[in-house]
Amino acid sequence: MCGIAGIFHPGTPKPVDPNRIQAMIAALAHRGPDGDGIWTAPGVGLGHRRLSIIDLEGSPQPMSDGDLTISYNGEIYNFAELRADLIAAGARFRTAGDTEVLLHGWRAWGPSMLDRLNGMFAFAIHDAGARALFLARDRLGVKPLHYVELADGSVAFASELKGLLANPLVRRAPDLSAVEDYMALGYVPDDACLVAGVKKLAAGHFLLIERGRGMPAPRRWWDVDFSNRATGSTKALGEELVDRMRAGVRSRMVADVPLGAFLSGGVDSSAVVALMAEASPRAVRTCTIGFDEAGHDERTHATTIARRFATDHAERVVDPDDVALIDTLVAAFDEPFADGSALATYQVCALARERVTVALSGDGADEALAGYRRYRFQAAEERVRGLLPAHLRTQIFGVLGRHYPKADWAPRPFRAKSTLLALAAGGGEAYARSVGVTTPEVRARLFSGR
């Protein structure tokens, strides 16, 4: 990963203090150990911390080409094809990496360039000719980007909140709505932030700030299209899924540095490792962490997969109660994050960093393929809701749910309180309750002070 930061004056082009940009990217040094750079011009300053993956020596940032300058974090998997298209249209390249493709792509296609990109990214392009700053984030928000309007009229942005907090003009006050989000979900979603005034640029959005036109609202450039329903047999759709995964894994294996994978032994990480082994002429480097507690230790499954695909495997036993890492995790996340898996993720990342520069991971399969048990419960509840009108469900199940004792200690058939309350509610409200870390009733008591 890399780190980006910058300041832009959308009003008059006031000078930007390069020391302020330097302080912002210094706060992001962990994102880019291979180098840094800053660039300033009237009314704008960009900074960059680099982790080199492709074109190790040839693509320093911020990168300028004529009236365009970019600071970019990410990887464009189809950059070679886009580069060929741009060369055919007359573009002349000085480097072999994907950064310059974004510069020429902006010049050729403007914001519609985003539709052509296959990758993960967050970047800022300053267009001196248009007197504008363009901020963009990838479809799924893999790469982070925060921004804030400051008291002097400028807009500051950075990959992480800590980069913005290095700017003395950023106020350190809590956003109470974001606190509510955290208490409900266990994390702070896009586009909110716990620091008042700071926003996350949401996944699949861009922000085009033009000098003299004020601060615009972010614009969505991509969203999931659920209207296009796939057709075909289960076998055919399964084969299509594997083909898409194979193409996705191969595209992510393009790197000029050592590459490996996290391996838990679960379906998602095992599938990624299998496809990497299929595509690689060398043994895939895999990393696994384990625990002394048998109920939480997945090393046996991981070892089975590692042997099956002849990987160069490494494992490490860690302490799940290692409180010494708490401060490290808090510093890494910037905002509260109520998921204990962060500890394991940090540990496997630390192991992987000793062996590789880039690691692929399998994640999201349960969400994409409805693997969690809650999806089956939700489907069953929806069938029950279809049998009774809403007002009857509210009267019957609502009364039962409010009076049924909460018995988390009891066998599952006797823990009916949450199910009864879910049946009394609409599908959306019930699902929100099922994934929430606290109920609305608990939050109401918490915030009321009672």
- What CATH number has the domain bearing residue 259? 3.40.50.620
The CATH number linked to 85 is: 3.60.20.10
Same domain, 383 and 410: yes
CA pair distance 2, 143, nearest whole angstrom: 9
Q: Tell which of 367, 382, 399 closes a domain.
A: 367
Q: Which of 367, 393, 418 is the last residue of a domain?
A: 367
Answer yes or no: is pLDDT of 163 > 90. Answer: yes
Is 227 within a domain? Answer: no
Q: Are residues 319 and 428 in the same domain?
A: no
Q: Which two tokens stand for residue 175?
A: 């956003």
Domain shared by 54 and 146, yes or no: yes
Tens digit of each residue's pLDDT (9 = 90 or more) over 118-137: 999 999 999 999 999 999 99
Alpha-carbon dihedral angle through residues 216, 222, 225, 230, given to the nearest 10 degrees: 180
pLDDT of residue 319: 80
Find the catalytic residue in 2, 193, 287, 349.
2
pTM above threshold 0.85:
yes
Co-location of 258 and 379 in the same domain = no
The answer to whether the CB of 128 falls within 8 A of the CB of 115 is: no
Is residue 120 domain-resident? yes
Same domain, 142 and 252: no
Q: Three-state DSSP class for 382?
A: helix
Query: What region, left, alpha or beta, does residue 7 occupy, with left being phi > 0 and alpha being psi -120 to 50 degrees?
Result: beta
Residues 170 and 155: beta-carbon distance below 8 Å: no
Same-domain check for residues 207 and 75 = yes
* pLDDT at position 294 over 80: no
What pLDDT, on the 0 to 100 scale, is given for residue 51?
Answer: 83
Indicate whether 168 and 261 sit together in one domain. no
Looking at per-residue pLDDT, the higher value among 131 and 440 belongs to: 131
Cα–Cα distance between 338 and 187 in angstroms, integer? 6
Q: 5 pairs with which residues across the strands?
A: 47, 158
Instruction: Return d(Cα 264, Cα 256) in angstroms, integer.
Output: 26
Mean pLDDT of the chain: 91
Has residue 261 been placed in a domain? yes
Residues 6 or more apart from 398 whose CB is under 8 A from it? Answer: 420, 421, 424
213 and 273 in a single domain? The answer is no
Q: Is 160 exposed, middle or buried (0-12, 13-18, 19+ CB in 10 A)?
A: buried
Question: What is the rounded distance in angstroms from the CA atom of residue 197 to the CA atom of residue 333?
Answer: 18
User: 208 with 126: CB under 8 angstroms?
Assistant: no
- The secondary structure of 108-162 as a DSSP string is HHGGGGGGG--EEEEEEEEETTTTEEEEEE-TT--S--EEEE-TTS-EEEESSHH
H or E stretch at 38: strand 36-41
Closest of 125, 112, 103 to residue 4, by C-alpha: 125
What is the predicted pLDDT for the residue at 409? 65
63-65 and 68-76 beta bridge pairing: antiparallel
Q: Do both 253 and 277 map to the same domain?
A: yes
Return d(Cα 133, Cα 112) in angstroms, integer. Answer: 15
Give a yes or no: residue 259 inside a domain.
Answer: yes
Whether 2 is catalytic is: yes
**Residue 226 counted as domain residue:** no
Tell me how far apart the alpha carbons of residues 354 and 117 are, in angstroms, rounded to a whole number: 31
Return the higher-pLDDT residue of 344 and 275: 275
Number of domains, the chain? 3
Q: How many residues does the chain have?
A: 450
Quick check: is 352 in a domain? yes
- Among 339, 367, 395, identify where a domain stops: 367
Say yes or no: 149 and 89 in one domain. yes
Tokens found for residue 84: 């060929």
Do 272 and 216 belong to one domain? no
User: Is residue 427 assigned to a domain?
Assistant: yes
In-domain check, residue 287: yes
Average pLDDT, stretch 257-281? Answer: 93
At residue 234 the predicted structure's pLDDT band, cuts being 50, 70 and 90, is: very high
Q: Are residues 194 and 293 in the same domain?
A: no
**Per-residue pLDDT band at 450 (split at 50, 70, 90):** low
pLDDT at 446: 85
| Angstrom distance (rounded) from CA 431 to CA 435 | 6
Question: What is the pLDDT at residue 324?
Answer: 79
| Domain residue limits at 247 | 234-367
List, for residues 7-19, the tens digit of each pLDDT value: 999 998 899 999 9
Confidence of residue 398 (pLDDT cuts 50, 70, 90): confident
Tokens of 201: 């640029």
